[in-house]
Structure 1
Amino acid sequence: MSIDLKAKRVLAIGECMVEMAPQAGALYKMGFAGDTFNTTWYLRRCLPADWSVGYLTAVGQDGVSDRMIGFMADSGIDTSAVIRRPDRTVGLYMIQLSDKGERSFAYWRNQSAARLLADDEAQLIQRLSGVGLAYFSGITLAILDVQGRARLFAALAAARAAGTKVAFDPNLRPALWSDSNMMCETIMQAAAQSDIVLPSFDDEARWFGDTDPAATLARYAQAEEVVVKNGEGAMRVRSSGHVFDFQPPAVAQVVDSTAAGDSFNAAYLAARLAGTGVPTALQAGAALAGRVIGARGALVEMS
C-alpha cells in the first residue's frame, strides 16, 4: 500500500493517564502515558517538523489535567482536539516490574474523562476533518460505552470516506471489557474499518485462538496492510498483497517492556508516512522498540 497524504496531520485517539513508574529503591516517578498517547509522543519525535501530530482525548479541569495538557504541548503535540470536562479528572496507573523486565499494572481510572471522549459525534467528525492519518486502539474502544464506540466508528468512517487513512492496534485488554466475546467482536469491527492493522500475536493467540502469526494475518484479511508483532520472534507482514516475514534484531537487555508495541507502531507509521517502504519501516519500528525496552518507563528520550 502506498501512503500518499497531502494533509500532513496525524491525530491519535484514546486515553492519556498519570503514570507511576518504578525507580531505584522504592521510589516512583510521575509521568504521563497511555498506549495511543505513547505512540503519539514517539510519532512527534519520528516525523519531520512540518507534520502536525495531535491527540484527541478528554481530561478534567483540575490541576493534574492542566499538567497533562502542558506536558503534551511541551512535547510538541497539538492539543486543540482535547476535550475539557468539569465533572471528571484523568486516570492513573502504576507499573510493577518482574526481574525479567515484564510488567504488570494497577489502575485507577473509573472517573477518567477519556471515557466520555466520544459523547459528541459531530464534535468527533469535526476534529477528524482534514486529518491525514487517524490512529486508535482496542483500549480506546474498551474505555467507551457501546454508544460511544458506535459514534467513534461513524466519525472514523466519515473521515475515511473523505480520504483519511486509519491505523489500528487491537491491543487486547480483557479486563477493560464486560466479556471477551464483545471484545473480540468489536476488535474485528474496528479492523474492518482500518487501512493498517498492527496486532500482537501473543494477545491474538490467547483470545482468538490463532495458532501462529500467519493465522492472525489471515484473520485481518480486510485490511490492506497488516504487521503481526511477535515479541522477539518473526513478524508476519502483508502489504499490497505481498506476504513475508521480518525477524527483528535481538535486544541485548530488556529492562522494561512497557510501550514496546506503542513505540514500534510510531516508528513504523512515521516511516510509512514519510514514503518509506515496508521493509525499511519494519526496521525503524524494531530499532525504536529495542531502545525503549532497554530503559524504564513508557516514554524514553531518543537523544
Structure 2
Amino acid sequence: MTPPSNDAPEESLGRFSRAADTASTEVIRTYSTSFGLATRLLGQRHRQHVRNIYAMVRIADEIVDGVAAQAGLDASAQTEALASYVAETHRSIRVGYSTDLVLHAFARTARECGIGEDLTQPFFDSMGADIADATDFTAYDAEAHERYVYGSAEVVGLMCLRVFLRDETRTEKEREILEHGARQLGAAFQNVNFLRDLADDTDRLQRGYLGESGRLSDADRDAWVRTISAQLDDARRSIPLLPKDARAAVRSAQALFESLTRRVAKTPAATLYERRVRVPDPIKALLAARSVLVTSLERAR
C-alpha cells in the first residue's frame, strides 16, 4: 500500500512535474550525447523545455524504428501504439497533465511555449509513414522526401524556436528568417542522418529516404552533400537573430553537423552502407567550446 502524502495539491503537482522533467532529461542522456551536450549550452530558461521536446519525439520515433517490433508488435500493433501515443500527447496538451511522465513534461512545455497540433500532427504523420512491413522496401521520391523531412525534422526545429522566442519580441520579417532557418537546420540534420544511417535504413528498416534509384553512388552522395551544405548555410544566417542564451547551443549543433557533412563527403558511398560516420568526442567538445566563445563576443539581444 502506498503511504499517504501530506503534500498540498500544488506541491504534489510540482513534485510530479519535476519527476517528469527528470524522466525527459534521462531520455536525452540515454539516446544522444550530441544533443545532450548542446542542451547544456542553452540558457536555463530554455534547457528543460528543449529536453522535453526531444524526449517526446524520441519515444515516438522508437515506436516506429524498431523497439516496438523487437517487443513483438507487428505493423498493425505498432500503428495502434502510435495512435495511442498521439491521442495522449494531444490530450495532455489540452489539459496540462498526463500519467505518462514524458508527455506530462512535454505538455507543460507545449502550453507555455505555444506548441500545438499544427506542429505535432505533421511530426506524427511522418512517424506513421515509417510503419511498414519490413519485407517490402519503401523508397521515397522527391515529394515524399520533402513531406517526410518537414514532419520528422523541420517541425521539431520550429518547436524549439517557439521555446526560444516565447519571451522575445521580433519583427514579422525577423520571425520569417528565424522560421526558415529553423526548418533548414532541421532538414540538414535529417538529411545528414539519412546518409549516416544508410546501412541500417536499407538493411534493417527497408527504407530508402534519399531516392528511388536504388543504392546511392558517389555522385548521389555529392549531390546530397551540396543540398545539406546549402541548408546549413541558410540556417547559419538566422542565428544572430536568436536570443543570445540560445545561440551557443544552436551554433554547437550546427558545427557538429557541418563536421559530419565533411566526413560524409570524404566517405565512399559504398562504405556508408557498411558503417556509420561519427565525430569523435574530443572534436565535439572543441566545436562546443568554439561556439561558446563566438557567442560570448556577440552583443546580447
**TM-score scaled by structure 1?**
0.31
More strand by share: 1
Larger gyration radius, structure 1 or structure 2: 2
- The structure where helix makes up a greater share of residues is 2
